[in-house]
């Protein structure tokens, strides 16, 4: 049974948001569920009348004048917005985006989604030295012909000789546990943190949030290949890298940490503490 009435607005026209997914899955797991509202199927007035939410979560791009009008009527609903682009007609309780600073703002940093990407056993069909998951083609992949590489995508078909096919998000954990190194080509911090939390060695060929303390920075294809060789062929080095990265992710960078902060800022002390207890369970 739900402890708190949490309503999440989703818009198919805006597309997939890993941040919204990560936070909402985490809120749902702590709260015993959430209401999902597809704005194409129900008006703002109807959905508020039916469920009278205590908390509303949505993306900045999802705020419409009709939603702002309904919120004037339901003054007790606390509105949490992900993104900095707030229209003039809206007045969120909490606005969350990276490096936000000030009253009513929360610095929402990347995080590992432990609910949707829990650790899973390896599967033979995903087994590889290196795996990548991206909808963008990268010339770097062509330089890795001496490795066993498997490339996956979400929505677009990629033109790589080692392209395996499109995947669903629930396959990601198995891919991570089946490969020796997860290679990021997009600078996708959330997915790198998921790899770290899943005890998968990871490396990025792009700009990320990580310092060289957490992950080697590579400036060229040669450096990338050297790092990949070290991670694949030197077991002790790989295990040290995995432990350091897992420690980094699990101590500060999961969506349970982010949800705990948001619940705390909204005044839900018990939910905030439940998030911290959950992390301690998982450590």
Residues 118-163 pLDDT 10s? 999 999 999 999 999 999 999 999 999 999 999 999 989 999 989 9
**Mean per-residue pLDDT for 17-25?**
93
- Rounded to whole angstroms, how far apart are CA atoms 10 and 13? 9
**Mean per-residue pLDDT for 245-260?**
96
Mean pLDDT of the chain: 94
- Rounded to whole angstroms, how far apart are CA atoms 184 and 176? 12
Phi/psi of residue 240, nearest 5 degrees: -65, -45
Q: What pLDDT is stored for residue 1 in this prediction?
A: 63
pLDDT tens digits along 158-214: 999 899 999 998 999 999 999 999 999 999 999 999 999 999 999 999 999 999 888
Asked if residue 247 has pLDDT above 80, the reply is yes
What percent of the chain stands above pLDDT 70?
100
Asked if residue 216 has pLDDT above 90, the reply is no
- E strand map for the chain: 6-10, 35-38, 55-59, 78-82, 94-97, 105-107, 128-133, 149-153, 163-166, 179-184, 201-204
pLDDT tens digits along 219-234: 899 999 999 999 999 9
What's the longest Cα–Cα distance across the chain?
A: 63
Q: What pLDDT is stored for residue 13 in this prediction?
A: 83
Asked if residue 250 has pLDDT above 80, the reply is yes
- Rounded to whole angstroms, how far apart are CA atoms 62 and 70? 14
Which tokens go with 42?
Answer: 């129900």
Asked if residue 257 has pLDDT above 70, the reply is yes
Q: What pLDDT is stored for residue 157 in this prediction?
A: 94
Residue 277 burial (CB count, 10 A): 12
Q: What pLDDT is stored for residue 10 in this prediction?
A: 93
Give me the sheet containing 6-10, strands edge to edge.
Answer: 35-38, 6-10, 55-59, 78-82, 94-97, 105-107
Which tokens go with 122?
Answer: 């390896």
What percent of the chain stands above pLDDT 90?
89
Q: Are 281 and 139 in contact (CB under 8 A)?
A: no
pTM of this structure: 0.93
Strand partners, 31: none
Asked if residue 54 has pLDDT above 90, the reply is yes
- Rounded to whole angstroms, how far apart are CA atoms 275 and 280? 9
Which contiguous run of DSSP H or E holds residue 68?
helix 65-73
Asked if residue 107 has pLDDT above 90, the reply is yes
Asked if residue 49 has pLDDT above 90, the reply is yes
């Amino acid at each position: 049974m739900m402890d708190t009435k949490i309503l999440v607005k989703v818009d198919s026209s805006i597309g997939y948001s890993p941040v919204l997914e990560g936070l909402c899955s985490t809120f749902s797991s702590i709260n015993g569920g959430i209401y999902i509202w597809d704005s194409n199927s129900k008006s703002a007035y109807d959905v508020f009348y039916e469920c009278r939410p205590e908390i509303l979560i949505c993306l900045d791009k999802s705020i419409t004048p009709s939603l702002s009008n309904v919120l004037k009527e339901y003054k007790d609903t606390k509105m949490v917005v992900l993104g900095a682009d707030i229209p003039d007609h809206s007045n969120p309780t909490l606005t969350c985006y990276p490096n936000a600073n000030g009253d009513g703002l929360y610095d929402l940093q990347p995080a590992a989604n432990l609910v949707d990407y829990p650790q899973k056993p390896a599967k033979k069909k995903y087994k590889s030295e290196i795996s990548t998951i991206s909808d963008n083609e990268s010339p770097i992949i062509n330089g890795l012909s001496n490795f066993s590489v498997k490339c996956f995508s979400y929505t677009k078909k990629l033109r790589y000789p080692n392209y395996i096919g499109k995947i669903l998000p629930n396959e990601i954990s198995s891919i991570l546990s089946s490969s020796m190194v997860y290679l990021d080509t997009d600078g996708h911090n959330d997915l790198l943190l998921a790899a770290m939390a899943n005890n998968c060695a990871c490396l990025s060929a792009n700009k990320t949030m990580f310092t060289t303390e957490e992950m080697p920075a590579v400036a060229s294809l040669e450096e990338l290949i050297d790092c990949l060789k070290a991670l694949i062929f030197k077991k002790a080095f790989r295990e040290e890298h995995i432990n350091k990265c897992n420690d980094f992710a699990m101590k500060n960078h999961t969506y349970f940490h982010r949800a705990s902060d948001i619940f705390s800022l909204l005044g839900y002390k018990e939910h905030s503490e439940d998030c911290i207890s959950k992390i301690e369970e998982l450590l």
